[in-house]
Every structure is written in C-alpha cells, then in structure tokens.
Amino acid sequence: MATAKKSSKGKGGSDKKDEAPRSAESKPSSKARVDDAALQTLVPGFSDNVRLGGEGSALFVKAAGVAVISLGIAGAMGASVGDDFRRFSHSYLVAFAVGLAVSAGFLYWVTLQHLVNSHWSVVLRRIAEVFAANAPVLFVLSLPIVLPVLGGQGLIYDWADHAKVEADHLLHHKAPYLNPTFFAIRIVFYFGFWTLLSRYYLKGSLRLDETGGAEIIPSMRRVAGPAMILFALTLTFAAVDFLMSVDAHWFSTIFGVYFFASCVICVHAVLTLSLIWLQGKGRLAKSVTVEHYHDVGKMLFAFTVFWAYVGFSQFMLIWYANVPEETAWFKERFAHGWGDVSWALLFGHFVFPFFGLLSRHIKRNKKTLAFFAVWMLAMVYLDMYWLVMPNVNETPDFHLMDAFNVLGILSALVAGAAQRAKGINLLPTKDPRLARSLAFENI
C-alpha cells in the first residue's frame, strides 16, 4: 500500500538508507531560477532544476541523427536481401510495434493518472506527456507499412493482395474489414484520436503551469473516462490491424489485451530510464525520489505478471478448444527453432524478471531497476518478433537489420519527446497536488 504524506525524512519522503546516490545537480540557468520561484510559491523552501534547456536540443539532434542513419542503413540492408523488401517489411513492423507500445503506453498512463486523480505521479507526469505526444511521429513512421498496403502489395499482409484474396475463401470472407482502403481509414482515425488526446492533456498541463487555475484539473479528469474507453477500443483494433492480421487466418479474442500488457511494461521501463538520464544531467534531482522509482518498479513487476497471465490464458484456451484455425498459429511457433524462442519468452519475459523484481530493494536501486527496464524492453521486442517473424521465416533468423530498425524507431520517439521537452518545465510547477507528490512515501 502506498500513501502520500509529509515526512521528517525529507521533502522527497525517502528513507536515506534505501536511497540510491543522486547525481550532482547542474548549475541552474536564469530560466530555471524563475521556475524555482514558482516551486517555492507552492512548496515553501523547495527548489529544483526543472528545465532541460540545451540538453534537450543536443538530445534532439543526436536522437534524430541516429534515427535517420539507422533506418537508412536498415533500408539499404533490406534492398540487398533481394526479396522485394519482404524481409525488411516484417522486420520494420516488429520495430514499429515496439514503438507503438511505447507511445500508446504513455498515452494510457497519462489518461489513467487524470482518471484516478493521482497525486503520487504528478512529478513524473510531464515526462509521460511529452512521450505520449509522439502520436504524429508514429503516424509518419507507419507509412512504410500503410503505403504498400494501399498499393495492393502483400509484403506483410496477404489480404492486401487482391489476387490472393480472390484465391482464398477465408480472406475473401474477411475482405469487408480487411481491405486496403478501410485499413488506411482506421489507421488515420487511430492516430488522429491519439494525437488529439495527447495534445489535449499536454496543453492542459502547460496551461496549468501558466495560470495555476485548479479548475483545469476537474475538466481533464472528466475527459479521462470516455477517453479511456475509446483508447481501449482503438488500441485493440490497432493491435489486430497491425499485428494479428499478419496471419489473417488466425484470430484471438484476447489479443488486444495481450498487446496492452506490453504497452504498460514499455511505459514503466522507458519512464525509469528517462528519469535516471534526467537526474544524471542534474534535472529533477530533488523532485523524483527513491519512492517514485519504487512505485514505477512495482508497476513494471505487476504487468510482467499480467503479461504472463494473459499469454497463458490465450494459449490455454486455444489449446483446449483445439480449433485448427487457431492451433496452427501456435504449432508453427513450437517448430523449426521457434520453440526455443517460445521458451526464451517464458523464462526471459516472466520467470527471470518475476524473481528479479520481487525484492523491494531491487526496485529502490537505480542501477538494478535500470537493468530490468532495459531487459524488459528487450523482451517486448522479442515478443513482437515472435508474433510477426514466423510468417516470413521458417526458422528464427536474427539480422543486423532488425537491430537498426528498432534503434531507428525508438530514437525517433526520443527525438520527438526531446523536441517538446526542451522549452517547458519538466514537471507541472503549479499543480496543487505537487506538494503531496514531492512528499510521497511507500509504506
């Protein structure tokens, strides 16, 4: 159980014997001192460096450069394979799915904090808001997947090829939903809604910084309920469209929830790494305490278990029903080397992190928590690879192109977040719940 309250242990409410060492705070700029004044007005005697400044510009340039170079190299490698970009397209879809999990996960997290009127997470919320606002970036990154579909090329999806649809009765039966035009319309709707929702929350949060008007908070909370329902629907259908329809003969009624579990794992892993990087640069050094890391670690642990529960439920129900259209999908993932990947997912995605994150001391130590954050991101990538690649490779065939694709996609998301973060406060300095968040404690 966790509560937020004042503590004699310090403004951050952390226990010094459990707290990981903090990096030295860099000298604040004049703009940072102005923001310190805003903080001290709300929380007397408290100050922190809450502006990214030049570090944001440098991060944007580096991340954008890495994204362009990595995706360029991956595309060149895809052209050299000589299969009309079929192998590259599947590899790109795997990387895109990881990026989608990160971006959608942050949007879910921001909406949830407003829905439950969360206090503990206020100091973390701005980081999540700038990552959630990456929906337009992700839409641009989806074009190498969407445009070939509109062109009738079945590089990834057989249902995009008119000739294959006419020759396959099941694909013909699903054509009213799985067709290029309706697919493109749905993609535009998904990203349009995610863009509007993320911008609404980011702009509302920034407006709160300017005016300090507490009336903004109830309005954002009222939107959160309906928005969460629509988000759940759009994410489920996006998972079906991008991933499940790669094998249009297979279906699972729980697939959207399965992908959602990866989204929540990604948001807490990336949030952990972002906070550690920021504190290493002297930002939020006092605001984010070991107590906040502990709670983020608890959520990372919880959704590792949730992923295993949903994955087992999906497998068990399909195995028990023994319907050929469903069991064939799992059969090919237990043959020709893919069985090894399946076992690696079981132990790497669940067993190892379950016992690794079980201890509170692991979750309260930056280094060990960072290790598991990176580990879980790698496992999410392996999971997406396991979902997509058996449709193009009879055996597992990891290629350097795969690494460049995922590096490029994730770097693009970092660049987008850095571009938005460099000119704004890294936490909502006039949120009336900030004081309770700064004094948050786990008990």
Average confidence score pLDDT of the chain: 90
Share of residues in the chain with pLDDT > 70 (%): 90
Q: Regarding predicted confidence, which is higher, 348 or 430?
A: 348
* Residue 168 pLDDT > 60: yes
User: Could you tell me the pLDDT band of residue 211, with boundaries at 50, 70 and 90?
Assistant: confident
- CA 238 – CA 230 distance, rounded (Å): 12
> Worst-scoring range by mean pLDDT, 3-12, 151-160, 427-436?
3-12
| 3-state SS, one letter per residue, for the chain | CEEECCCCCCCCCCCCCCCCCCCCCCCCCHHHHHHHHHHHHHCCCCCCCCECCHHHHHHHHHHHHHHHHHHHHHHHHHHHHCCCCHHHHHHHHHHHHHHHHHHHHHHHHHHHHHHCCCCCCHHHHHHHHHHHCCHHHHHHHHHHHHHHHHCCCCCCCHHHCHHHHHHCHHHHHHCCCCCHHHHHHHHHHHHHHHHHHHHHHHHHHHHHHHHCCCCHHHHHHHHHHHHHHHHHHHHHHHHHHHCHHHHCCCCCCCHHHHHHHHHHHHHHHHHHHHHHHHHHCCCCCCCCCHHHHHHHHHHHHHHHHHHHHHHHHHHHHHHHHCCHHHHHHHHHCCCCCHHHHHHHHHHHHHHHHHHHCCCHHHHCCHHHHHHHHHHHHHHHHHHHHHHHHHHCCCCCCCCHHHHHHHHHHHHHHHHHHHHHHCCCECCCCCCCCHHHHHCEEEC
Rounded to whole angstroms, what are the CA distances from 403 to 104, 232, 382?
A: 21, 30, 11
pLDDT at residue number 29: 45
Comparing C-alpha atoms, which of 356, 373, 364, 354 is closest to residue 265? 373
What would the mean pLDDT of 260-265 be, rounded to a whole number?
98
pLDDT at residue number 6: 38
Name 4's bridge partners. 440
Phi, psi of 51 (to 5 degrees): -120, 135
Q: Give yes or no for a contact between 130 and 138, defined as CB atoms under 8 angstroms apart.
A: no
Q: Give yes or no for a contact between 357 and 301, defined as CB atoms under 8 angstroms apart.
A: yes
> Worst-scoring range by mean pLDDT, 35-44, 249-258, 366-375?
35-44
pLDDT at residue number 369: 98
Name 442's bridge partners. 2
pLDDT in tens, 43-102: 665 778 889 988 999 999 999 999 999 999 999 999 988 788 999 999 999 999 999 999
Please report how many Cα atoms fall inside a 13 Å half-sphere around the Cα of residue 305, on the Cβ side.
10
User: Could you tell me the pLDDT band of residue 39, with boundaries at 50, 70 and 90?
Assistant: low
What would the mean pLDDT of 251-270 be, rounded to a whole number?
96
Q: What residue spans define the domains of the chain?
A: 49-431
Comparing C-alpha atoms, which of 174, 114, 121 is closest to residue 325? 174
Residue bearing tokens 């879809």: 93
What would the mean pLDDT of 104-112 be, rounded to a whole number?
98
pLDDT in tens, 274-293: 999 999 999 999 999 999 99
pLDDT at residue number 17: 39
What would the mean pLDDT of 180-191 be, rounded to a whole number?
97
Per this entry, what is the length of the chain? 443
- CA 123 – CA 387 distance, rounded (Å): 36
User: Could you tell me the pLDDT band of residue 204, with boundaries at 50, 70 and 90?
Assistant: very high
pLDDT in tens, 289-299: 999 999 999 99
Q: Regarding predicted confidence, which is higher, 432 or 4?
A: 432
